[in-house]
Chains A and B, each alone.
Chain A
């Protein structure tokens, strides 16, 4: 299986652990991945204003790049990129007038976009294309005794039209976690917003949310929290620094990308996990469980 892949800005720096672990895992599962040539920023957020067509150019231009690779499926890892690309694509598919304007604005592109690229998140590929039961057969190191709280945040599952699971009670990450041999831990804050970009100007808001979300996961017995969004990862991991200052009784908990758990289970080397990028070091708990 061969897939075109859109990384997005943060997977090349702060979230290199996300990219490296995902690519290693996909290679182990026999998937060939080709990164788009000359990709650009997706815009990070979908333009919610009806007339704001100019901000659809960035996402749609990336879909033109996919067409240039003769690819009708584009894989995305980052939840925010996934949401932005997919929603923009849906708008273009269902609104010919907007699509014509967007194509006109990009008149220098040789390919005219037709709305025909399918955007898939890696979780969808694992579930629907590769199938969880086949992944189970490739597990070389089951994540035994590891209790994982799966945090979805917003953009994987909302709005309903673009999400690939129930917006109120998604289970795709729990299902994957179980396949890898770990124990998924349910917790009530798994779809609560982490505060996203408010982290720049209102870090206190994010500290409150981090405290609420992680304390809830811990109260259900979680050893680690799994995420799929680099912004959630930053807020839940790095903002623990300020969380402890405000709430001295708060205990740190490591935040991992679901791909890092997958990579460990599939036997990827430790350099693909890039634990050096974490604020809260996941190594002690993983060593304790004999996983690294």
Chain B
């Protein structure tokens, strides 16, 4: 995949917004890859957790907001407890989801859930799903 890096994207307010919402210093990451090595969801991800941080440093907004990876992360916090630089990667991914959800771009349409999807599923699953995937 070809990626264009420019001063413009790096200085995009998007980078600052992600840092603000997540409370994390993106530039602390030195790309050791430990987050991706331990992530149970990488099989389903198009961009790996360490790449998410790199993309965010570089302001690659569209690549991040259109990625599948941010919706596959279930905030299990394995990356957070393992990061040698103390970066909370799960919070960065949450910030990216929030940027979309706050524009009413819900990932799950409650009305469109089928009976099969709702059947027998406990409230804890439905509520956490709605909390994470709807605005």
Residues of A within 8 A of B (CB): 8-10, 13-15, 41, 43-45, 48-52, 55, 78, 80, 154, 158-160, 167-168, 191-193, 195-202, 205, 208-209, 230-231, 234, 238
Given A49-B95, A49-B98, A195-B74: A200 touches B113 (CB 8 Å cut-off): yes
Q: What residues of B have a CB within 8 angstroms of the CB of A43 in the complex? A: 127, 131
CB distance B125 to A193 under 8 Å? no
Given contacts A196-B128, A230-B124, 6 further A-B contacts (CB under 8 A): A193-B76, A197-B125, A200-B108, A200-B117, A234-B124, A238-B120
- Chain A residues in 8 Å Cβ range of B40: 192-193, 209
A231/B124 in contact, CB under 8 A: yes
B129 with A201: CB separation less than 8 A = yes
Q: Is the interface of B mostly helix, strand, loop or mixed?
A: helix
Measured CA separation A234–B121 after assembly (Å): 8
> Which residue from B41, B78, B132 sits with its C-beta under 8 Å from A197?
B132
Q: Which of B21, B74, B121, B132 is the one whose CB lies under 8 Å from A51?
A: B21
Q: Are B74 and A201 in contact (CB under 8 A)?
A: no
Bound complex: CA A230 to CA B81 (Å)? 23
Contact between chains at B127 and A50 (CB < 8 Å): no
Using a Cβ–Cβ cut-off of 8 Å, how many residues does chain B contribute to the interface with A?
A: 39
Nearest chain-B residue to A44 (Cβ)?
B128
A50 touches B22 (CB 8 A): yes
Establish whether residues B44 and A205, one from each chain, have CB atoms under 8 Å apart when the complex forms: yes
Q: For the complex, is B72 an interface residue (Cβ under 8 Å from A)?
A: yes
For residue B20, CB closer than 8 A to chain A, the reply is yes
A9 to B78, CA, bound (A): 26
Q: Which residues of A contact B95 (CB under 8 A)?
A: 48-49
Whole-angstrom distance between the alpha carbons of A8 and B125 in the complex?
Answer: 13
| Contacts A45-B75, A196-B74 given; does A50 touch B122 at CB 8 Å | no
Q: Known contacts A48-B75, A193-B40, A209-B40; decide if A80 and B113 are in contact (CB<8 Å).
A: no
CB neighbours of A200 from chain B (8 A): 108, 113, 117-118, 121, 125-126, 129
